[in-house]
Amino acid sequence: MAAAALAYVLSLVVFAAIDLAWLAVMGPRLYRPMLGDILLGTVKIAPAVLFYLIYPVGLTVLVVLPALREGSLVAALALGALFGLVSYATYGLTNFATLRNWTPQLTVIDLVYGAALSALASALSYVGTARITGSP
């Protein structure tokens, strides 16, 4: 149980830190120019916090803990990339299908970004959890 809690905290911190930095840099450069009038002026904090609390649960349960059981950093990277691709595809492809401003380029960027971010967060969580708990 301690390993799961640690993996969750590490996943949350790494994922949120990188994603918030990405959004701070890319929001004005990528999202605002493409999406403009459909974006809110300010972010709704409660849904954003819920996302950042829930997404790492998926990373932890479906990626990091199985990779720890296997003792495989490669599994953490591969499963993390798959989890991120599927999750971000749900968002990106739905937006592409339903929003007039959503572009194919934005869809591809989001899918690649989601896969890379989730792989990185999973790998770092795996390494940190394994080192702290003494797992293989």
Q: In 10 A of CB 118, how many CB atoms?
A: 29
The runs of H, that is alpha helices, within the chain are: 2-26, 32-35, 45-59, 65-70, 73-98, 104-133
How far, in Å, CA of 130 to CA of 136, rounded? 6
Q: What per-residue confidence (pLDDT) applies to 16?
A: 97
Asked if the model's pLDDT at residue 44 lies above 80, the reply is yes
* Dihedral in degrees, nearest 10, Cα atoms 10, 19, 81, 32: 170
**Arithmetic mean of pLDDT, 17-26:** 95
Q: Which two tokens stand for residue 38?
A: 């459909």
Over its C-alpha atoms, the chain yields an Rg (Å, rounded) of: 16
Q: What is the pTM of this model?
A: 0.93
